[in-house]
Amino acid sequence: MMGSKPRAGGPDERAWSLRDFILPLLAILLAVGAMGMVMHSSAIHPHSPWKLASKVLWKNASVRPPVLLTITILGWAGVVRVCRGAGMNLDLVLGGPTAAPAVTMHAAFVLLAVVLSAHAAHIYASEAAGLTWRPWLTCNLLLHAAAISLAFWPRGLSRASRASLVATLVESVVAPFAPVTFWHVIVADYLTSMAKAFADLQLTVCLSGRILALGADAAEGATAGDYVRTTQLWDDHHDTCAASSMNAVMLALPFWWRLMQCLRVYYDTREQKNLWNALKYSTAFPLVYAGYLRRHEPSAAHDHLFVVAAVVQSSYCFVWDVVMDWGLPRFAEGLGSRAGSKCKPGMRDVLLVTKQKWVYAALCLANLCLRFAWTLSVFGGLPGRGGGMFFIELVEVARRTAWAVFRIE
């Protein structure tokens, strides 16, 4: 939703107001109200608001990716607003006119309306007795299709911004056979933060294929009165799909794309720092493989291997964030120092977001904590695979949003 060159008179150039948000906000309220009314009188669905939130936001791999995409888009609107408020020239940094925050925010609200409407449809449809077309699974698959189709929707979202984003995504995927600009780096780094969502998509495809393959048997079972609910089939096949090598491949894919970008930049510039950056993304592959072994062949040795790989990857990335991406530390000679004297460590003087240095120190501490959020999962500090996985994915998106502001700075 940024780094684009909008057409004259397009949605990026006109003034946006609250009126533009009325329809998506109304759709969101209607969807939430419909779900609440149905579940209040339902004999199938629980009446708890928390369980309703779980069902539509994080319960399993089929519902999380669209929600995370919505949050990511909304977060980028915040990035643009903060950077512009700090006086940064985003058009110069990103290589072209950047969509206004309201444009990106509107896109996020439209997508949220689609997400909630799809879930309202499946909750309403599942109340009917004798259904064999599996409304929960069907509506979730249609939701993913709708989220993808929004990229080609001619109205409602910024056409120029979508064109720029889609083109950048394609060029990131085919790296190193495409040019790499700062905008490509930003987009590809966002993809690495969505790596678990890629794994969720693989789970959705794998599990959906297995469940839909049972379609004929399910219809016969419904006639005989022993119809098996989709949620039970999902749980029955989850571990098999999660332990597949394709799940590990999808998890590693965004890091591979970013690695290829680093190698392309090194080929173009011959600057060695790009090789060190490539090494940073390479640390994700031992971690993914250790996770695959840990799931496929559980043992104490594989648990230890996973922890070691995660510590190495998180530590390397944290240091790179602070030193290279944010450029916060500086080593300058103190006043009155003689040549050859030791340098005095400190923080760089040019600070645009705020002049308060403690904010940057707090940012570094928060980044460190979020980089190691996986420890909560490893040592049993999070709930099951639904809520726990959503928490890990959510904090990574939040970390990436903060990272983007100070990376641009």
273 lies in a domain?
A: no
Residue 125 lies in a domain: yes
Same domain (yes/no): 149, 205 = no
**Does the predicted TM-score (pTM) go above 0.85?**
yes
Confidence label for 134 from pLDDT (cuts 50, 70 and 90): confident
pLDDT of 47 > 60? The answer is: yes
Verify that 98 and 79 share a domain, yes or no: yes
* Contacts of 270 by beta carbon, 8 Å cutoff, 6+ apart: none
Instruction: Give tens-digit pLDDT for 79-96.
Output: 999 999 999 999 899 888
For residues 308 and 381, state if they share a domain: yes
148 and 188, same domain (yes or no): no
Token pair belonging to 347: 């923080």
Q: Give the residue carrying structure tokens 């399910």.
A: 218
Q: What is the DSSP string of 181-205?
A: -HHHHHHHHHHHHTHHHHHHHHHHH
Residue 155 pLDDT exceeds 50: yes
Q: At residue 342, does pLDDT exceed 60?
A: no
| 134 and 188 together in one domain | no
Domain span including residue 387 = 283-331+344-409
pLDDT bracket for residue 228 (50, 70, 90): confident
pLDDT digits (tens, 9 = 90+) for 236-283: 888 889 888 999 999 999 999 999 999 999 999 999 999 999 999 999
Residue 5 forms part of a structural domain: no
Give per-residue pLDDT as tens, 349-393. Answer: 888 888 888 999 999 999 999 999 888 777 766 766 778 889 899
Of 22 and 156, more confident: 22
Q: How far apart are the first and last CA of the chain?
A: 19
Same domain, 309 and 248: no
Which tens digits make up the pLDDT trace of 165-191?
A: 888 899 999 999 999 999 999 999 999
Report the pLDDT value the prediction gives residue 332, as an integer from 0 to 100: 52
Domain end call among 132, 157, 182: 157
Range 211-237 average pLDDT: 69
More confident residue, 259 or 211: 259
- Asked if 290 and 309 count as a contact pair (C-beta separation under 8 A), the reply is yes
Is 276 inside a domain boundary?
Answer: no
Query: Which has more confidence, 227 or 154?
Result: 227
In a domain, 351, yes or no: yes
Tell me, yes or no, whether 120 lies in a domain: yes
Check whether residue 303 and residue 393 sit in a common domain: yes
Distance CA(360)–CA(321), nearest Å, equals 12
- Look at residues 157, 182, 217 and tell me which one is the last residue of a structural domain: 157
Question: Domain boundary residue among 138, 157, 176?
Answer: 157
Separation CA 113–CA 108 (nearest Å): 9
**Number of domains forming the structure of the chain:** 3
pLDDT, residue 62, reads: 87
Q: For the stretch 164-176, what's the b/e string if a residue is b when 16 or more beta carbons lie within 10 angstroms of its beta carbon? A: bbeebbebbbebb
| 293 & 244 share domain | no
What is the pLDDT of the chain when averaged over all its residues? 84
Q: List pLDDT tens digits, range 346-359.
A: 788 888 888 888 99
Is residue 275 domain-resident? no
In a domain, 15, yes or no: no
